[in-house]
Structure 1
Amino acid sequence: MKSTLKDDVSVTSCDVSTSNAFTNEENNSNISRCQPQSNSDEPTVPDGRWGWVVTFASFMHNFLVDGLTYSFGIFFNAFLEHFGESKGKTQMLGSVISGYYLLIGPLVSILERRYKCRKTAIVGSVIASLGLFLSTFSPNLNVMVLLYGIVGGTGFGLLYGPCILIVSYYFNKRRALATGIAVCGSGIGGFVFAPLSATLLEVYGWKGALWIISAIVLNGVVFAALYRPIQHEPVQRTEPNTQPKFPKGDNKLKSLCALLCSYSSGTSRLFSPAFFVHLVSCFLVSAGFYIPFNFLPTFALDKGISAFEGAFLISIIGIFNTIFRVVIGVVSDRSWLDCFHVNGFVLIVGGVATFLIPYYTSFGVLAAYSAVFGSTIGVFVPLRSIILIELRGVNNLSTGFGLLTMCIGASVMIGSPVAGLLSDMTGDLDVTFYLSGSTITLGGILCLPLRRILRWEQKKQERRTLESTKL
């Protein structure tokens, strides 16, 4: 679908109405398995022009959000020493900020519909920067978790949701490529922030380092200003008896409640066996996702590897994360590639490699592992939303992405603290990697049958349509 984006496009909508959209693979063999068919109800998108400016802004927001969260392991020992708490409790800092910005996904989806991507992301940048700055004045770890984790995580959530959704709204045929480029900011962020954090930590201490990083995060306001929404006529769908009646004049209350009702109605239409399996798979993978980021630098120190080399392991993850996000963005638009199987097999390889970390004793082997794990992330992250679109259609992206990120956020908040608790109980870090490797591998295994489940759902839907036509 082709159209042009005019320069005088008005600020209207990042809205996406909720409708069910299945792809028909048998009748459209020339269309990529990872690129869903367009639905006639979906808005026309420009596939380029200002979309590439939006992609760059999204890239920078991913750079800021994941660059900081991926580098938490660099600060872990400093936080451990300053607050004097256990490893499990100290890990809550990293897990809360990493998980909370995903956990509030449904709330962000509602706010994004009401206030659009640009305003939501601007407010998120300000809140995240403020939370990071104020956290340096925390008298204890509990206050630090509140300011660094909850306040900072809320800001990152308001920033992250729009930066992913806006790219999908601007592209259709090249959606996978644009998404791959945008989320490359995550890998570049990990590559840059790891050595930057190590240097700032050494020169200014953890408080001074966070002051500087909070100022860097504030630049997200500038990039959010580039989120110029697309002008289109939103699809109106009336749901009988789903919206309550209000007294005249209560416009704001009416608007908010109508939005909540619409979101609730859209959520109920999302669930299907394939979507549920995808949620469980992402939950398991995410439980182990941040454990290598948070514990690998400390594990390297225990093996006699320098702090700089430990930080460089995170940078290696970032390099390969970036490379494979570009690769998957290019090849996932091809008709011969099945994103379900690719996602599953790559996760299994990454999970097994993570499970074996305790047997890696040299920097060279750990560097090789970092390359494998970075490649795994580079495939998994962009395919999450692409798989979601194929399962439930682009019209359901906003609602579905909110639920998916909430599920992932809850998992992330559990994973690292549980790993830290197990490490405190056993006295070593090996168990943390056993946990991470097991959950990532199991998540990959669950992803493999998704194609068969989706075909079964499509055939079931076709039978229902045929029966209703006969009636």
Structure 2
Amino acid sequence: MTVVDHQGPVLAPDGGWGWMVTFSSFMLNMILDGVFFTYGIFFPEFLRYFGQSNGKTQLLHSVLVGTCLVSGPLASVLVRKFDSRKVAATGALTASIGFFLSSFAPNLDVMFVCYGIMGGFGFGMFYLPAIVTIGVYFDSRRALATGLALCGSGVGALVFAPITRLLLETYGWRGSMWIVSAITLNGVIFSTTYRPLKTEKEIKNNKHNTSNNYTSRTDHDSESCCKHFCLAMTDMFDFSLLTSPTMLLYSTSCLLVMFGFFIPSNFLPVYATEINLSSEDGAVLILAMGISNTVGRVVMGYITDQSYANSLVINNIALLIGGLATCSVPFYTSFGMLVTYAVVFGLVTAAFALLRSILMAELLGVHRLNSSFGLLGLSMGLSTFVGSPIAGALADIYGNYRVAFYFSGISLVLGGLISVPLRFISKREHSKIKEFNFVDTYNSDQRKKTTDIEIVYFKKTITISTISEKI
């Protein structure tokens, strides 16, 4: 089937090389979320080594994730300007360098720059291509392919949890950063599979590349730099999304969700020690979360592709269940109860992460997926910057981690509730757009008819005056 990309109609293979792209996205997501979700294992080490508060130490993780998400609009522009392959490879290289330099950090402030900003920016550069490219290569199997690609996140938490614990015990946190840097560098190899699909526009213009390039250079020379930059930005980014009620409401929902999204994975290991469980038990909780996350993304991807499934309903129910279960964490006083919660929350994160791009494609269109996902990342990143630090500060104030889970659960519930009318708002928005286009077309036709009548009348007048002169 044909998918409309930002440059024109593209024939989605719905298989073939698309499965190789899916595998690469799987591996990139495994690296990214493997680092994200195992920060809770590094957290006690950073607390002891740097001697800072819970809030400031949690801010390091928030800067990493927040920078990754906030860089979404920039990554969107770069993908449209260049292509997914170059942007993803550059991102993997940048993140790898950032993690390597962070191993030499003498204090937490330097870690913010190297680990948080450089690592986060690099992750952002290959996170968006890993999601958006799936939407271009697949149409009827999009949810399944997205689910398979995103289950790399669960596998990342599954694999990285025991590896991180082993690395910390063997090499310390600095040596562990070297190995994490080397693993991240493999993203350069995986990103080479993002072969761009040719659009119909590119095929038609292929014979005229030389003349088009010459004209483009001439135009660039004649225009001012400022004007050219503005035109380029307008062409590469869909600014009309800023006025879309659907986009604004879903962005608000995701902003609320991301306040508490990473708090359970960051605080479960240290909360386990608070109720007299071992650090190994804390790592097992992250492992259980990773297993359920992995299985959940594949299963939900398959279910979402079915005709009876409503992706928005699944998203909202998952957030409500996850929020209520998180608010109840302070009442879980045994290892078995915490493992059960970790499995449930892993399924919740699987649904939310899987359905973001699916909902954007359904509600706003595949042709706007690149820009909409970038804006969504910006919204999510802003709340991620402050979510975990607020939870850490609350833990410092109250002397325990229970209030952090209350904060996380409430934000998840609010995110699920606010997106309930999203489908209705999206339909109204589309109907207004169609109505506006119809009126605009009708007015254009009327103007054309009026012009034709005036021309005919003018010709008749000329003819009559000419006859009069002859008489």
- 1:92-148: per-residue Cα shift (whole Å, max 9, x none)? 111111111111101111111122111111111111111001101111111111100
For residues 379-423 of structure 1, what are the alpha-carbon distances to aligned partners after superposition, in whole Å with 9 as ceiling and x for unaligned?
111101111111110111111111001111111111001111111
Identity across aligned pairs (percent)? 46
Query: Shift of residue 43 of structure 1?
Result: 1.9
1:270–1:392 CA contact under 8 A, matched in 2:
no
2:358 aligned with 1:386, yes or no? yes
Aligned match of 1:146: 113
**One-letter amino acid of the counterpart of residue 139, structure 1:** P
CA distance in 2, matches of 1:255, 1:163: 29
- 1:10-159 equivalences under 5 Å are 16-17=6-7, 42-159=9-126
Aligned to 1:229: 196
Q: How does 1:366-405 map to 2 (within 5 A)?
A: 366-405=338-377
From the superposition, tell whether residues 188 and 154 of structure 1 become closer, same or farther in structure 2 (CA, over 3 Å): same
Structure 1 spans left out of the alignment, 5+ residues: 4-13, 18-40, 237-242
Q: Which amino acid aligns with 2:6?
A: V
Residues 1:444 and 2:409 are matched in the alignment: no
SS in 2 for 1:42: strand
The 1-side partners of 2:354 and 2:67 are apart by 20
Equivalent AA in structure 1 for residue 100 of structure 2: F
Q: Match of 1:6?
A: none
Would the alpha carbon gap of residues 391 and 351 (structure 1) be closer, same or farther in structure 2, given more than 3 Å must change? same
Note the C-alpha offset of 1:274: 2.0
Describe the SS at the equivalent of 2:423.
helix
Equivalent residue letter for 1:217: T
In 1, Cα distance between the equivalents of 2:284 and 2:382? 29
Match of 1:417 among 389, 414, 418: 389
Question: In 2 relative to 1, CA 227–459 (structure 1 residues): closer, same or farther, beyond 3 Å?
Answer: closer
Contact 1:270-1:396 at 8 Å conserved across structures: no
Bigger Rg, structure 1 or 2: 2
8 A Cα contact 1:68 1:193, kept in partner: yes
Contact 2:81 2:236 (C-alpha < 8 Å) held by counterparts: no
Select 1:426's aligned residue among 392, 398, 402: 398
Given the alignment of the two structures, is residue 354 of structure 1 paired with residue 326 of structure 2, yes or no? Answer: yes
The structural deviation recorded for 1:225 is 1.2
Give the RMSD, CA atoms, in angstroms: 2.2
1:336 aligns with 2:303: no
Find the aligned partners of 2:95 and 2:268 in 1 and give their Cα distance.
26
Residue 184 (structure 1) aligned with residue 147 (structure 2): no
Query: Which residue of the partner structure matches residue 454 of structure 2?
Result: none
- Going from structure 1 to structure 2, the CA distance change for 1:64 and 1:234 (only over 3 Å counts) comes to farther
Question: Contact 2:9 / 2:200 at 8 angstroms: preserved in 1?
Answer: no
Normalised to the residue count of structure 2, the TM-score between the two structures is 0.87
Q: CA deviation at 1:234?
A: 4.2
The correspondence for 1:294, drawn from 266, 283, 290, is: 266
- Amino acid corresponding to residue 430 of structure 1 in structure 2: R
Q: Secondary structure at the match of 2:200?
A: coil
| 1:107–1:47 distance in 2 versus 1, CA, 3 Å | same
Name the SS for the 2:333 alignment partner: coil
How many Å separate the matches in 2 of 1:223 and 1:133?
A: 20
Choose the corresponding residue for 2:275, options 275, 300, 303: 303
Q: Does 1:279 align with 2:251?
A: yes
The one-letter amino acid of 1:293's match is: S
Is the CA contact (8 Å cut-off) linking 1:110 and 1:259 kept in structure 2? no
Q: Deviations over 1:342-372 (max 9, x none)?
A: 1101100000000111111111000000011
Relative CO higher for 1 or 2, CA cutoff 8 Å, sep ≥ 6?
A: 1
Rounded to whole Å, the distance in 1 between the matches of 2:281 and 2:330 is 17
Measured in 1, the distance between the counterparts of 2:224 and 2:127 equals 29
CA apart distance, 1:195: 1.1
- Between the aligned partners of 1:246 and 1:469, the Cα distance in structure 2 is 31
TM superposition shift of 1:246: 6.4
Query: 1:24 is matched with which residue?
Result: none
Instruction: List per-residue Cα deviations over 1:308-331 (Å, max 9, x = no partner).
Output: 110111111111111111112111
1:123–1:364 distance in 2 versus 1, CA, 3 Å: same
Distance in 2 (CA, whole Å) between partners of 1:335 and 1:432 is 39
In the alignment, which of 155, 167, 172 is matched to residue 200 of structure 1? 167
Cα 1:200/1:113, change in 2 over 3 Å: same
More helix by share: 2
Q: Secondary structure at the match of 2:412?
A: helix
Q: Which runs of 5+ in 2 are unaligned?
A: 205-215, 444-471
Compute the displacement of 1:255 (Å): 6.7
User: One-letter code of the match for 2:81?
Assistant: R
Query: 2: CA distance between counterparts of 1:372 and 1:126?
Result: 34
Question: Does the CA-based 8 Å contact 2:2-2:10 persist in structure 1?
Answer: no
Measure the CA separation in 1 of the matches of 2:438 and 2:89.
Answer: 48
Number of aligned residue pairs? 430
**Deviation of 1:426 (Å):** 1.4
The one-letter amino acid of 1:357's match is V
The Cα shift of 1:333 comes to 1.5
Q: Is the 1:267–1:400 Cα contact (8 Å) retained in structure 2?
A: no
Aligned partners of 2:172 and 2:254: how far apart in 1?
36
Could you say if the C-alpha distance between residues 429 and 172 of structure 1 is closer, same or farther in structure 2, counting changes exceeding 3 Å?
same
**Aligned mates of 2:344, 2:268 — CA distance in 1:** 14
Post-superposition CA distance 1:286-319 (Å, at most 9, x none): 1100001111100001111111110111111111
Deviation at 1:469, TM superposition (A): 5.0
Deviation at 1:467, TM superposition (A): 3.8
Using structure 1 for the length normalisation, give the TM-score.
0.87
Matches of 1:72 and 1:202, distance apart in 2: 15
What does residue 232 of structure 2 align with? 259
